[in-house]
């Protein structure tokens, strides 16, 4: 009903930066800063006429960087593929499935081995075990330690 949004206009970045290390808000801001990304780079959904579905897609896009934070994955190709595997299991969205399936073609043999033997099995187990990550009201969880939120949601510690 409330349809929260994660945008620079809805975030108190100074407050989030001042939160303790390990808290969701502080680690999310650290992720944004380290990777030079902004929550405002997520485009609104196109070709979705249903207002409810459009919000779900928008929410998926806006929590993507939070998934990186929760999963402990960087924004390099390997990290993106792992996040896509988790998101594919969680949402079944075609864009996630395609990213998970075809993202690895750009990886080196060594990274493919780590992906296949460690990261994908972990992402699949976590995605199946976790409650729906799109339904979390992250905006009310900024102070919560990332480890505690992972445990609560059923996301296993990253390998």
Cα separation of 6 and 104, whole Å? 29
Nearest-CA neighbor of 3 among 54, 55, 60?
A: 55
The predicted-structure confidence for 10-40, as pLDDT tens digits, reads as follows 999 999 999 999 999 999 999 999 999 888 8
Residue 23: strand pairing partners: 145
pLDDT band at 48 (very low <50, low <70, confident <90, very high): confident
pLDDT band at 49 (very low <50, low <70, confident <90, very high): confident
SS (H, E, C) 91-107: HCCHHHHHHHHHHHHHC
pLDDT band at 50 (very low <50, low <70, confident <90, very high): confident
Question: The domain containing residue 134 runs over which residues?
Answer: 8-153
The predicted-structure confidence for 81-95, as pLDDT tens digits, reads as follows 999 999 999 999 898
Residue 48, in any domain of the structure? yes
Residue 145: strand pairing partners: 23
Residue 159, in any domain of the structure? no
The predicted structure's pLDDT at residue 77: 94
User: In the chain, how many domains are there?
Assistant: 1
Report the half-sphere exposure of 83 (CA within 13 A, side-chain side): 22
The predicted structure's pLDDT at residue 44: 77
Q: Determine the distance from the C-alpha atom of residue 105 to the mean position of all C-alpha atoms in its chain, rounded to a whole number.
A: 22
- 3-class state of residue 108 by DSSP: coil
The predicted-structure confidence for 118-154, as pLDDT tens digits, reads as follows 999 999 999 999 999 999 999 999 999 999 999 999 9
Residue 88, in any domain of the structure? yes
Cα separation of 17 and 65, whole Å? 16
Residue 123, in any domain of the structure? yes
Tell the burial category of 132 from Cβ atoms under 10 Å away from its Cβ (0-12, 13-18, 19+): exposed
Residue 158, in any domain of the structure? no
Q: Determine the distance from the C-alpha atom of residue 124 to the mean position of all C-alpha atoms in its chain, rounded to a whole number.
A: 14
Residue 2, in any domain of the structure? no
Residue 3, in any domain of the structure? no
Give the mean model confidence (pLDDT) for residues 44-70: 89
Residue 1, in any domain of the structure? no
């Amino acid at each position: 009903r409330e349809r929260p949004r994660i945008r620079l206009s809805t975030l108190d970045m100074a407050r989030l930066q001042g939160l303790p290390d390990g808290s969701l808000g502080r680690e999310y801001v650290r992720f944004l800063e380290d990777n030079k990304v902004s929550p405002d780079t997520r485009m609104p959904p196109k070709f979705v006429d249903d207002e409810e579905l459009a919000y779900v897609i928008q929410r998926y896009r806006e929590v993507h960087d939070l998934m990186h934070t929760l999963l402990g994955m960087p924004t390099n190709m390997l990290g993106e593929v792992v996040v896509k595997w988790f998101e594919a299991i969680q949402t079944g969205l075609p864009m996630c499935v395609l990213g998970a399936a075809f993202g690895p073609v750009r990886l080196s043999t060594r990274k493919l081995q780590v992906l296949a033997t460690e990261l994908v099995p972990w992402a699949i187990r976590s995605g199946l075990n976790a409650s729906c990550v799109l339904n979390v009201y992250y905006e009310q969880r900024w102070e919560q330690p990332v480890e505690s939120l992972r445990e609560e949601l059923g996301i296993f510690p990253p390998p």
